[in-house]
A and B are shown apart, each in its own frame.
Chain A
Amino acid sequence: MSLEILTFSFMHRAIISGIAIAILCSVIGLFLVLRRYSLFGDAIAHSSFGGIALGLMAGVYPLWTAYGVSLVSALVITKIKEKYDISGDASIAVLLSSGIAVGLVIVGISGGFTIDIFSFLFGSILLVSVNETILILFLTGIILIVVLLFYRQLLYSTFNEEQAKVSGIPVEKINYLIVFMAGLTVVTSIQLVGVLLISALFVIPNVTAIMYGKGFKQTAILSISFSIFSVVVGILVSYIFNITPAGTIVLLSIGLFAVTMGIKSSGLLSIKN
Chain B
Amino acid sequence: MLNIVEIDHLTVKYPDVKALDDVSFTVKKGDFLGIIGPNGAGKSTLFASMLGLNTKYQGTIKFFGEDIKKSKDYLKEIGYVPQKPIFEKNFPATVNDVVRMGLRKESDENKIDEILQQLWIHESSKRRIGELSGGQQQRVFIAKALVNNPKILILDEPVTGIDQQSIDLFYSILRELNSKQKITIIWSSHDLDAVNQLANHVACLNRTLFFHGESDEFFDNDELVKQYSEASMQEHMHRH
Nearest CB to that of B129 among chain A residues? Answer: A159
Taking the closest CB of chain A, its distance from the CB of B236, in whole angstroms, is: 27
CA distance A155 to B92 in the complex (A): 10
Given contacts A166-B80, A168-B75, A272-B128, whether A159 and B52 have CB atoms under 8 Å apart is no
Given contacts A163-B80, A168-B72, A215-B126, whether A156 and B101 have CB atoms under 8 Å apart is yes
Taking the closest CB of chain B, its distance from the CB of A261, in whole angstroms, is: 14
Does the CB pair B93–A272 fall under 8 Å? no
Does the CB pair A215–B75 fall under 8 Å? no
Question: Cβ of B33 < 8 Å from any Cβ of A?
Answer: no
Does the CB pair A210–B90 fall under 8 Å? yes
CA distance A272 to B128 in the complex (A): 9
Does the CB pair A215–B51 fall under 8 Å? no
CA distance A27 to B230 in the complex (A): 54
Does the CB pair A152–B82 fall under 8 Å? no
Residues from chain B with a CB closer than 8 A to the CB of A218 are 92
Question: Cβ of B2 < 8 Å from any Cβ of A?
Answer: no
CA distance A164 to B86 in the complex (A): 12
Count of A-B contacts with CB under 8 A?
A: 73
Chain A residues touching B, majority SS:
helix
Taking the closest CB of chain A, its distance from the CB of B65, in whole angstroms, is: 19
Chain B residues touching A, majority SS:
loop
Does the CB pair A159–B98 fall under 8 Å? yes
Does the CB pair A273–B101 fall under 8 Å? no
Kindly supply a per-residue 1/0 record for chain A positions 30-65, scoring 1 wherever the CB is within 8 Å of any chain B CB and 0 otherwise. 000010100000000000000000000000000000
Does the CB pair B92–A272 fall under 8 Å? no
Does the CB pair A165–B98 fall under 8 Å? no
Within 8 A of A (CB), among B64-88: 72, 75-76, 78, 80, 82, 85-88
Which of B89, B96, B102, B104 touches A215 (beta carbons < 8 Å)?
Answer: B96
Does the CB pair B87–A160 fall under 8 Å? yes
Does the CB pair A216–B80 fall under 8 Å? no
Which of A36, A163, A213, A216 touches B97 (beta carbons < 8 Å)?
Answer: A216
CA distance A48 to B76 in the complex (A): 41
Does the CB pair B52–A165 fall under 8 Å? yes
> Please, how many residues of chain B have a CB less than 8 angstroms from a CB on the other chain?
30
Residues from chain B with a CB closer than 8 A to the CB of A167 are 75, 80, 101-102, 104
Question: Cβ of A132 < 8 Å from any Cβ of B?
Answer: no
Kindly supply a per-residue 1/0 record for chain A positions 202-220, scoring 1 wherever the CB is within 8 Å of any chain B CB and 0 otherwise. 0000000110011111110
Given contacts A152-B101, A215-B94, whether A166 and B76 have CB atoms under 8 Å apart is no
Question: Cβ of A162 < 8 Å from any Cβ of B?
Answer: yes
Does the CB pair A163–B128 fall under 8 Å? no
Taking the closest CB of chain A, its distance from the CB of B142, in whole angstroms, is: 12
Does the CB pair B128–A215 fall under 8 Å? yes
Residues from chain B with a CB closer than 8 A to the CB of A166 are 51-53, 75, 78, 80
Taking the closest CB of chain A, its distance from the CB of B71, in whole angstroms, is: 11
Residues from chain A with a CB closer than 8 A to the CB of B88 are 34, 36
Residues from chain B with a CB closer than 8 A to the CB of A155 are 93, 97, 101
Taking the closest CB of chain A, its distance from the CB of B196, in whole angstroms, is: 28
Most chain A C-beta atoms within 10 Å of own C-beta, residue among B88, B92, B96: B92
Residues from chain B with a CB closer than 8 A to the CB of A164 are 101
Which of B51, B76, B103 touches A152 (beta carbons < 8 Å)?
Answer: B103
9 smallest beta-carbon distances between A and B, as pairs:
A219-B92, A215-B94, A156-B101, A168-B75, A166-B80, A166-B51, A216-B97, A215-B97, A216-B93
A214-B128, A215-B93 are known; give 13 further A-B pairs, CB within 8 A. Answer: A156-B102, A159-B87, A160-B87, A166-B51, A166-B78, A166-B80, A167-B75, A168-B72, A168-B104, A210-B90, A215-B92, A215-B128, A216-B92
Interface positions of A (Cβ within 8 A of B): 34, 36, 152, 155-156, 159-160, 162-168, 209-210, 213-219, 272-273
